[in-house]
Structures are given as C-alpha cells and as structure tokens.
Chain A
C-alpha cells in the first residue's frame, strides 16, 4: 500500500539557518504530493503541493520538488524564522476520494 516516510524530529535550528526535511514515498500510480504545517494547538494547513514529476511547489519561502526517480519530496527553506516552528507533515494522494496518506510528522524548533 501507499506509505510516506519522514525524517524523525525534533529538528532544532538557529534563526536564518537552512532547513531540509526529508520525505520519501511509496505509491502505486502517480500520486500528488503535499506538505502540511501544524502550528501549536491548531489544525493542519496546506503549505505547498506538486501534482506531477519535476513540479516544484513553493510557498512562504519553502520549496519542495517532486522527484519521481528517487520517490522523494524533500522540504527546504533557505533561512528559517522563529515563526516557522511547527510540525510539518508530508502526504501523498492517489485520488479515489482524495484520501491522503500522511507521514508521522517532523517537529521543527527554531531558536534565536
């Protein structure tokens, strides 16, 4: 079945550091890929997405490229801020009712 594997956290960075959160997937067919963000005490919000191979999703300085050859969708940001502290979830969807399969989430802590 479909699955998503994320790097375990927490990831602790200093402000303005470079961020990478790894995500790899296993899926039948051609999934869409998503990154969601969960700020403390809140629900999840879509951060970015990519629907086909080589697409790059971007939002709020975050980027992720859909790599079919490595089945990956790593999240990157060039300079993180304290306000980026949150839990980040990688997810894939293969249609059929739009059920998404989520990774376990990676907690990011950004310190001054």
Chain B
C-alpha cells in the first residue's frame, strides 16, 4: 500500500519568512495528491490537489502555493508567511479504485 513521507515534522518560522514543506509518496504511481490544513480546533481544509506532474488546483485563495515537480513529489510553499498560516499540514494520496485517502504524519507549522 501507499506510504507518505512528510518533512519537516515540526517547524517554527517568523512572520514574513519563506516556507517549503515536502511530501513524497511510495508504493504507487501517478497518484492524486492533496495538501490539507488542520487549524487548531477546526476540521480539515483542502488547500491543493494535483492529478499529475505540473497540474495543481487550488481550493481556497491564500498565501500558499503548491508544486508537483515529479510524479510522487508534492511541495507546499510560501514566499512570506502570515500568522494565520500556523497549523498542521497533511499530505495525502488516494487509491483511485476505492476513494480511500492515505495521509502522511503531518507537519506542524508555528508562525511567530
């Protein structure tokens, strides 16, 4: 089955600094990939999804961007972080047959 690796696991960054969170997937090819954010006390919000290399769809307007330079690599970035970007970021891929999502362990971002 699919395995998802995310790093870094924890990150503390000052306001205005750049961000790069990386996600790689093993055990599947040509997956649909997703970035979710889980803010404190709130549910999961879908930020971006990708159906293939270089193909990114944004679900909500925000200070973040995503890129997919390789089939099994998904990167979440920001040029200048805001306080409101703090949260727990989860990368996921799906099983196209069953619809199940497989999640990484998450990256906790604190913007100070």
Contacts and interface: CB of A to CB of B under 8 A. Distances in A.
Interface stretch (A67-75, A77-85, A101-109): A101-109
B67 to A, nearest CB: 18
A89 B32 contact: no
B42 A104 contact: yes
B8 to A, nearest CB: 14
B103 A43 contact: yes
Interface in A50-95: 51, 89, 93, 95
Contacts of A98: 32, 94-96, 99, 101
A43 B100 contact: no
A100 interface: yes
B85 interface: no
A46 interface: yes
Given A99-B46, A102-B43, A46 B101 contact: yes
Nearest to B100: A46
Nearest to B41: A104
B30 to A, nearest CB: 13
Binding site secondary structure of chain B: strand
Contacts of A105: 43-44
Nearest to B104: A43
Contacts of A95: 99
Residue of B4, B98, B104 ringed by the most chain A CB atoms within 10 A: B98
The size class of the interface chain B forms with chain A is 20 to 34
Given A43-B90, A43-B105, A99-B49, A93 B42 contact: no
A17 interface: no
A45 interface: yes
Given A44-B90, A98-B95, A105-B43, 20 more contacts: A34-B99, A34-B101, A43-B6, A43-B103, A43-B105, A44-B44, A44-B92, A46-B100, A46-B101, A49-B98, A49-B100, A51-B99, A93-B99, A97-B49, A97-B51, A98-B99, A98-B101, A100-B99, A102-B36, A102-B43
Q: Which 7 A-B pairs have the closest CB atoms?
A: A104-B43, A43-B103, A102-B44, A98-B94, A44-B103, A93-B99, A98-B99
